[in-house]
Chains A and B, each alone.
Chain A
Amino acid sequence: MKELVEYIARNLVDDPEAVRVKEVRTSQGLVLSLRVARADMGRVIGKEGRVANAIRTVLRVPAARSGKQVSLEID
């Protein structure tokens, strides 16, 4: 799942080297924390969070398969 977020993010930003995804296991499930260069923030969030929400939607596919609760944060 980490790889999916990394792949999408790297293909959306101008600075793919700066893309980092951290996996944090919490009692609420798996939290994926995405970090990109400051100038690329808009590209992974989008207007009214549209891009971030689309990434969350596609993440639900592998999440459902693994039976895990997965959420995505951008910081």
Chain B
Amino acid sequence: MTSSTGAEFHGKTVEEAIQAGLAALGLKQNQVTIEVLSKGSRGLLGFGAEDARVRITPLATPTPPPPPPPAASAPPPTTPAPAAAAPAPQPPAAPRSPADAEAIEAAVELLQGMLDRMGVRATVRVVERTGAGEEGDEAPIVLNIEGEDLGVLIGRRSETLGAIQYLLRLMVNHRLRRWVNVEVDVQGYKARREDQLRKLAVRMAEKAVSSGRAVTLEAMPARERRIVHIALRNYPGVTTQSFGEGEHRKVTIIPVK
């Protein structure tokens, strides 16, 4: 969808839909026009509930900063500084580049498009990154799918979630003709799982050290093994290694002298 026609966003309430849209586009409320397409309804006992839908269209030109009040007492600038050359200080949270905004808009639209056609009632929300990613990594765009009863979107060993993310990346990259790092989460599942894995890694490392024997974790996908390796990279007294092939690949924590 082009920015001239705006993009549609969903949410449980109109307010949520607007927030999702603004976050996705990286714009503020005064930089867009908002059209409420549907206020949504609660439905009865969760049946027939309908999302609120809004159309958000970026204004053709970004709103200029309000002109400084013509204070008669203020001395005229001595140097002919270019008007409004000094960039307004960026808010620390999520300074989105236009390229990012374009990628986010495409990713949100394509993911929502897939979910709608899967018959899944859910809202896509852009997760604001608080900290920087791991060193050397381009911070990915993280989309969280929110709704009720979304376990089906994760699947066994997050196989379904993996497929959704894989297809979304292909679609976004194809549309923009460039590589964009997009991650998909469901109800913060990956974030929670990451936390659990780090704790598990440390517990098992303690066990490896105290027993003096290697500890092998259950089989995990590459992404999760990577979290374990990184969590224990600087843990004293152990080293980690993966063994096995494909789906059966496991991390082993080995005590070192």
Interface residues of A: mostly helix, strand, loop or mixed? Answer: helix
Answer whether A8 and B171 are a contact pair too, CB < 8 Å, given A58-B114, A61-B118, A62-B118.
yes
Interface membership of A31, Cβ < 8 A: no
Contact A3 to B117, CB < 8 A, known contacts A12-B174, A57-B155: yes
Asked if B167 and A54 make an inter-chain contact with CB atoms under 8 angstroms apart, the answer reads: yes
Closest to B153 in A: A61
Q: Separation in Å of the A8 CB from the closest CB of chain B?
A: 6
Task: Tell whether A4 pairs with B163 under 8 Å between CB atoms, given A11-B174, A61-B153, A65-B119.
Answer: no
Is B148 among interface residues, defined by CB-CB distance under 8 A?
A: no
Are A61 and B174 also in contact (CB < 8 A) when A7-B113, A51-B167, A54-B163 are? no
- Candidates A11, A51, A54, A62; contact of B119 at CB < 8 Å: A62
Does A39 sit at the interface, judged by CB under 8 A?
no
Closest to B173 in A: A12
Residues of chain A touching chain B, judged by Cβ–Cβ distance below 8 Å, are 3-4, 7-8, 11-12, 43, 50-51, 53-55, 57-58, 60-62, 64-65
CA distance A29 to B119 in the complex (A): 19
Given contact pairs A51-B167, A58-B164, enumerate 8 new A-B contacts (beta carbons under 8 Å): A4-B118, A8-B167, A11-B110, A53-B163, A57-B159, A58-B163, A58-B167, A61-B119
A-side contacts of B175, CB under 8 Å: 11
Question: Which residues of B157-189 are within 8 A (CB) of A?
Answer: 159-160, 162-164, 166-167, 170-171, 174-175
List 18 A-B residue pairs with CB atoms under 8 Å apart, sorted by A's residue number.
A3-B117, A4-B118, A7-B117, A11-B113, A11-B175, A43-B174, A51-B167, A53-B163, A54-B162, A54-B166, A57-B155, A57-B162, A57-B163, A60-B155, A61-B120, A61-B160, A62-B119, A64-B152
Give the complex CA separation of A53 and B160 in angstroms.
Answer: 11
- Name the contact of A8 in the complex, choosing from B114, B119, B162 (C-beta under 8 A): B114
Size bracket of the B interface: 20 to 34
B152 pairs with A4, CB closer than 8 A: no
Q: When A12-B170, A12-B171 are in contact, do A4 and B160 touch as well, CB less than 8 Å?
A: no
B149 to chain A, nearest CB (A): 11
Which residue of chain A lies nearest to B164 when distances are taken between CB atoms in the complex? A58
Most chain-B Cβ atoms within 10 A of its Cβ — which of A51, A61, A62? Answer: A61
Q: Which residues of the partner chain A approach B110 to less than 8 Å between Cβ atoms?
A: 11
Identify the interface centre among A11, A43, A53, A55: most chain B CB within 10 Å of its CB.
Answer: A11
Q: How far is the CB of A40 from chain B (nearest CB, A)?
A: 11
In the complex, residue of chain B having the shortest beta-carbon distance to the beta carbon of A55: B167
Contact with A along B120-156 (1 / 0, CB 8 A): 1000000000000000000000000000000011010
Complex Cα gap A64–B155 (Å): 12
Could you tell me the distance between the alpha carbons of A7 and B155 in the complex, rounded to whole angstroms?
Answer: 22
Encoded as 1 (CB less than 8 Å from any A CB) or 0, chain B from 94 to 105 comes to: 000000000000
Contacts of B160 in A (CB 8 A): 57-58, 60-61
